[in-house]
Amino acid sequence: MATMPAPHSGPAIDVVNRIRAKLPEMSETMSRIAHLLLEHPDAPLTSSIGELAARAGTSAATVTRFCALIGYSGYVPFRVSIATDLGRRSSRVSWKTDIGRAFGPLDSASDVLSTLVNAHTRSIRETAASMDLPVMKSISKRIADCRHLDIYGVGGGATLALELQSRLYRIGIDSHHWSEVHAGLASAAIQDSDCVAIGISNTGRTEETIQMLRQAKKSGALTIAISNNPTSPLSTIADVKVVTSAYEQFLQPDDLSAKHVQLLVLDLLYLLVAQENFDRTTANLARSASAVASHRRPHRRSADAVRSDISQVSGRRSLHTMEKEDL
C-alpha cells in the first residue's frame, strides 16, 4: 500500500473546541476546571496554576493533567494559546457572543438565527483553516485510483456516507456506503491494499463505525477517519484523520453545525477526486445527466411572466404605432 504523507498539525484547534470535545471523558474534578474555563476564558491570563486550581477546587497537578488531556504540554503553552485565541477575538463582545450559546425558550427568532450563523460560520472557517491540503490531495488520489471504496456511517453519519458515495459513484468510483454493521463488516473483510475505507462520526465514538473501519484496516485498506475529535477511538485507529471543528452542541445529540463542516470536507474531497481524472469525470457526469433528463420537467416560464412579456410587447407595438402616426 502506498505511503500517505504524515498530516502536519496545522493551526491549533480552538481551546473551547478542545474542551468541549473532551468534556464527556473528563472526571468530575477535571470537569470543574472545564466549566470554569468555559465560563471565564481569560482566567488563566490573570491566574497562576495554583490560583486557577484553587478557583476550581482542585490541585495544580490536576490542572496540569487537564492541559495534557486537551492537547497541551503544560500550563504555559495552554495560557499562550488562550492569549492568542482571545487576541483574535478582541473585537468581539465576549467569548459566549463569539461562539454562540445554548438556546433558551424565550430567545427571539432573530437571536436564534444570529447564534446559528455565528456558530456555523465559525465552524466552517476553523475547519478550512486547519485543513491539511496536501493530505487531502493524497487521499483524493488514492480514492481516484482505488479498486473499491467503503464509506461507513451510522445515524447522521449514514446520511453523509450516502451523499459521498452517490456523488463518487456517479463519476466512476466503485464505492459503497454501509450503516448496518454486519453488512459493513462483511465488505470490510474482503478489502485489500488497493482499497480505501472512510469512517464518518461526529464524536468519533460510534461503536459500529469504529468496528467497520478497524476491520477494513486489518484487511489492508487505507483507512480515513472524519470526526470532530482528534483523539477519539475512530481517529486513533485510522491511518489518516481529518478533523472538523464544531463549537456549540445546540441540539444534542445531532448538532447540524457538525454536519455542515463534515459536508465541507466531503465536498472538497469529491472535487479533488473529480480533478484526478477530469476527462472520466466529465464524461460520466454527462452520461448520467442524459440518463435522468427525461425524469425532469423542462424549465417553463410562469403564466404571469408570459403575460407580462405579451403586455410589454403590446405596449412597445402601440408606442411604435403612435410614433409612426406622429411621422
CA–chain centroid gap for 239, Å, is 19
Domain with CATH 3.40.50.10490 in the chain: 133-285
E strands in the chain = 148-152, 175-178, 195-200, 222-227, 240-243
Cβ partners under 8 Å of residue 199, min gap 6: 152, 153, 209, 210, 212, 213, 223, 224, 225, 226, 227, 234, 238
Whether the CB-CB separation of 195 and 148 falls below 8 Å is answered with yes
The mean pLDDT of the chain is 81
Please, which pLDDT band fits residue 88 given cuts at 50, 70 and 90? Answer: low
Measured CA to CA, the distance from residue 241 to residue 13 in angstroms comes to: 14
205 vs 230, higher pLDDT: 205
Does residue 76 carry a pLDDT above 80?
A: yes
216 vs 293, higher pLDDT: 216
Does residue 121 carry a pLDDT above 50?
A: yes
pLDDT in tens, 164-196: 999 999 999 999 999 999 999 999 999 999 999
The pLDDT of residue 254 is 52
Widest pairwise Cα distance in the chain? 99
pLDDT in tens, 245-279: 755 444 444 566 678 889 999 999 999 999 999 99
The pLDDT of residue 86 is 66
Architecture of the structural domain at 15-91: Orthogonal Bundle (1.10)
CATH level 3 topology of 133-285: Rossmann fold (3.40.50)
The pLDDT of residue 12 is 38
Measured CA to CA, the distance from residue 103 to residue 124 in angstroms comes to: 21
The pLDDT of residue 124 is 83
What pTM was estimated for this model as a whole? 0.63
Does residue 126 carry a pLDDT above 50?
A: yes
Instruction: Give the mean pLDDT of 107-135.
Output: 81
Percent of the chain beyond pLDDT 70? 77
Please, which pLDDT band fits residue 298 given cuts at 50, 70 and 90? Answer: confident
The pLDDT of residue 252 is 45
Grid coordinates belonging to 58: 482542585
Backbone φ and ψ of 42, nearest 5°: -90, 5
Does residue 208 carry a pLDDT above 80?
A: yes
Domain with CATH 1.10.10.10 in the chain: 15-91
Does residue 321 carry a pLDDT above 80?
A: no
Sheet holding 195-200, edge to edge: 175-178, 148-152, 195-200, 222-227, 240-243
Instruction: Give the mean pLDDT of 68-78.
Output: 86
